[in-house]
Structure 1
Amino acid sequence: MSELIVIGYDDHAVAAKAFKAVQKLRDDHAVELKGLAVVRVDADGETHVDTPKKSEEVALSATAGALWGLVLGMVILTPGIGVVGAAVGGLIGKLSQMGVDNGFRNKVKELLEPGSAAVVIMASRITEDRFAEAMEPFGGTVLKTTLPEDRERELAEQLTGSGSDAETAG
């Protein structure tokens, strides 16, 4: 199971400090990250995504990286979904089953007005009290949803095309 946490800020500088605090929590083993980004919207409404530098990056498998990229893209970057192919439609359906529904995405979009920023965290484990204590000085608006492990696995299989066709002995 993963937690998807989006913390919105009115100021990019505060979001950048919160982003660094999450990295420190990762280094202190208070958070196990599957993905981390700071998203800012400039005065012109353009969205910019910053992720950890390669030297600081969360070690992700190709599947986990694709999953994080899809979740980040669907939650933050997809302005609206019109006509889509069957594969993308299936992935969107899986995200909805995982709890990343239109309501959650709309709340995230409301946080990301021009001039604002958000820290987006996908974590497999969080020490809640340490996380809350470390993030409290930055304030912000917190949105959170849970991504169940079985749904995450289904989405990862759909991303990689490795559906479970094999029978299991039992």
Structure 2
Amino acid sequence: MATLTVWKFDSPTAADEAVSALERLAKQELIIIHDAATVSWAPGAKKPKTRQLRSLTGAGALGGMFWGMLFGLIFFVPFLGAAVGAAAGAIGGSLADVGIDDDFIRAARSQITEGTSALFLLTSGAVVDKVKPEFERYSPELIQSNLTSEQEAELREMISSD
């Protein structure tokens, strides 16, 4: 089963740097990246920039429409008004089937702010003792996942411990 996680970084460029590291690890077959997208919010910018990793294709890939809808709900709906918000709410209801609910959207919206970046990652098969040291050098903070509470606690502990 693939895991969807959202990682926050305290720099607008760190998510892209972490992607580069994860792509190197994927080439070594130490993690399977089914799909990923980044959000980068430069200081002074009115809204964040989003980017789907185009080089990732396959059965597990979520696709541009998924990322566009998700990022629209998280970052752009609050600025668009009630009518568009209601339509987006109806669309967003279908995302709940994959673990993306209102709490997920609120958590991402409140924590990914100006001067930060985030990595939305769909992965499986990580060789933890190899992936952890590479990934933790970017000081990620897990802000959301589709894991159980126990699995999420283990993941947080794994990334934060030395």
Which residue of 2 is the match for residue 12 of structure 1?
Answer: 12
- Are the equivalent residues in 1 in contact too, given 2:12–2:40 (CA < 8 A)? yes
Is the radius of gyration larger for structure 1 or structure 2?
Answer: 1
Which residue of 1 is the match for residue 86 of structure 2?
Answer: 83
Q: 1:127/1:75 Cα in 2 relative to 1: closer, same or farther (>3 Å)?
A: farther
Task: Specify which of 69, 81, 84 is matched with residue 67 of structure 2.
Answer: 69
RMSD: 3.0
C-alpha offsets along residues 12-42 of structure 1, whole Å, 9 cap, x if unaligned? 2322221211111221222222211221112
Amino acid corresponding to residue 87 of structure 2 in structure 1: V
Give the C-alpha shift of residue 122 in structure 1. 1.3
Q: Counterparts of 1:35-114 in structure 2 under 5 Å? A: 35-42=35-42, 43-52=44-53, 57-60=55-58, 64-66=62-64, 68-69=66-67, 72-73=70-71, 76-80=74-78, 82-84=85-87, 89=90, 91-114=91-114
C-alpha offsets along residues 116-165 of structure 1, whole Å, 9 cap, x if unaligned? 11122112443333332221111121124228xxxxxxxxxxxxxxxxxx
Of all paired residues, the percent bearing the same amino acid is: 18
Q: Find runs of 4+ consecutive structure 1 residues off by over 4 angstroms.
A: none
TM-score, normalization by structure 2: 0.70
- 5+ residue gaps, structure 1, are 148-170
Give the C-alpha shift of residue 62 in structure 1. 10
1:26 correspondence with 2:26: yes
Give the C-alpha shift of residue 58 in structure 1. 0.8
- Are the equivalent residues in 2 in contact too, given 1:21–1:135 (CA < 8 A)? yes
Q: 1:62/1:41 Cα in 2 relative to 1: closer, same or farther (>3 Å)?
A: same
Q: 1:146/1:59 Cα in 2 relative to 1: closer, same or farther (>3 Å)?
A: same
Q: Which moved more, 1:74-83 or 1:34-43?
A: 74-83
- 5+ residue gaps, structure 2, are 79-83, 148-162
3-state DSSP of counterpart to 1:36: strand
